[in-house]
């Protein structure tokens, strides 16, 4: 009976049926583990230990903790789990649904800022570039014919079709004379036309992560981890990971690959 009420609660949050089904299944697993014991702080901590031992990937554990936090909120409990950081176990990774939902958030804003954010997030994820590199790209480095980011004649990155689609929409909407690809549209005019800072990009990512239900902690490194994991799942080896995420050495790429 309580699970039915919980499903209504999830429905009120606007979650998809597949997400509600996933949440319900995870809570059922938790209740089976709990047996007939009460939901106490001690038992919740024991369940955390159980998850740590059972699942090798941080993303899997964090998904279950996030769902449990949502259920505890529904019950009116004050206890909340802290999600694991990438140094607690392996690397934090978004599952396909989380990634899709996150990238879709910026699509809802049709303003110039929304178009910028969507292009930024798609490019950030698909290219594997670090934020510090992304924010230094200028408009004249975009080859619109070959659909590439050109750093030098021998150093360029092909832009994936979906990222190119949103980048093109953003650039067509731009009417300013700024040289930078991703710029600040500061209403106070103080930073208008300047390239975004690393911190600004982190805030943009955080803004859209907070619109998710449940809220997820997402940062640039998690997006890089997710890209690398998906490439590994598709069969990529150390050399491919090195190229896709722009590592300087094969050793660094292989060590990173081992942590995925």
Domain ranges across the chain: 2-75, 96-216
191: confidence class by pLDDT, cuts 50, 70, 90: low
Cis peptide before 214 (omega within 30 of 0): yes
Domain 96-216 has CATH 3.40.50.720: no
Read off the pLDDT of each residue in 136-157 and give the average, rounded to a whole number. Answer: 95
- Say if residue 188's pLDDT is above 80: no
> Rounded to 5 degrees, what are φ and ψ at 109?
-100, 110
pLDDT the model gives residue 172: 96
189: confidence class by pLDDT, cuts 50, 70, 90: low
* DSSP tag of 238: H
Paired tokens of 113: 């800022």
pLDDT the model gives residue 113: 94
- Say if residue 208's pLDDT is above 60: yes
Q: What is the average pLDDT score of the chain?
A: 89
pLDDT the model gives residue 1: 73
76: confidence class by pLDDT, cuts 50, 70, 90: very high
pLDDT the model gives residue 50: 84
Read off the pLDDT of each residue in 31-57 and give the average, rounded to a whole number. Answer: 85
Whole-number Å distance between alpha carbons of 230 and 242: 14
247: confidence class by pLDDT, cuts 50, 70, 90: confident
pLDDT the model gives residue 58: 78
223: confidence class by pLDDT, cuts 50, 70, 90: very high
Closest by CA position to 172, among listed 138, 139, 136, 220: 139
Model pTM score: 0.65
- Cβ atoms of 58 and 92 within 8 Å: the answer is yes
Q: Say whether 96-216 and 2-75 share the same fold.
A: no
pLDDT the model gives residue 187: 63
- Cβ atoms of 77 and 70 within 8 Å: the answer is no
- Say if residue 86's pLDDT is above 70: no
| Angstrom distances, CA of residue 157 to CA of 29, 52, 93, 196, 244 | 44, 38, 23, 21, 9
pLDDT the model gives residue 92: 78
Helix, strand and coil in the chain, % to nearest 5? 60, 5, 35
What would be the CATH architecture of the domain defined by 2-75? Orthogonal Bundle (1.10)
Percent of all residues in the chain with a pLDDT value above 70, rounded to a whole number: 94
85: confidence class by pLDDT, cuts 50, 70, 90: low
- Say if residue 137's pLDDT is above 60: yes
pLDDT digits (tens, 9 = 90+) for 93-136: 888 999 999 999 999 888 999 999 999 999 999 999 999 999 99
């Amino acid at each position: 009976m309580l699970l039915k009420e919980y499903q209504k609660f999830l429905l009120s949050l606007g979650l998809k049926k597949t997400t509600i089904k996933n949440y319900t299944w995870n809570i059922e697993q938790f209740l089976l583990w709990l047996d007939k014991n009460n939901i106490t702080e001690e038992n919740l901590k024991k369940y955390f230990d159980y998850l740590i031992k059972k699942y090798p990937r941080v993303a899997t554990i964090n998904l279950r903790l996030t769902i449990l936090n949502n259920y505890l909120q529904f019950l009116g409990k004050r206890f909340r789990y802290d999600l694991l950081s990438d140094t607690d176990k392996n690397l934090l990774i978004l599952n396909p649904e989380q990634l899709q939902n996150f990238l879709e958030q910026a699509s809802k804003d049709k303003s110039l800022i929304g178009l910028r954010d969507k292009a930024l997030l798609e490019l950030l994820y698909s290219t594997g570039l670090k934020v510090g590199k992304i924010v230094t790209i200028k408009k004249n480095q975009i080859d619109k014919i070959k659909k590439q980011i050109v750093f030098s004649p021998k150093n360029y990155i092909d832009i994936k079709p979906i990222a190119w689609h949103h980048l093109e929409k953003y650039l067509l909407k731009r009417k300013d004379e700024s040289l930078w690809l991703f710029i600040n549209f500061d209403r106070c005019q103080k930073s208008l036309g300047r390239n975004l800072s690393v911190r600004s990009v982190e805030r943009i990512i955080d803004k859209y992560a907070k619109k998710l239900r449940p809220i997820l902690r997402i940062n640039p490194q998690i997006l890089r981890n997710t890209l690398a994991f998906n490439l590994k799942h598709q069969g990529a080896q150390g050399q491919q990971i090195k190229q896709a995420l722009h590592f300087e050495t094969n050793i660094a790429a292989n060590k990173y690959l081992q942590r995925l």
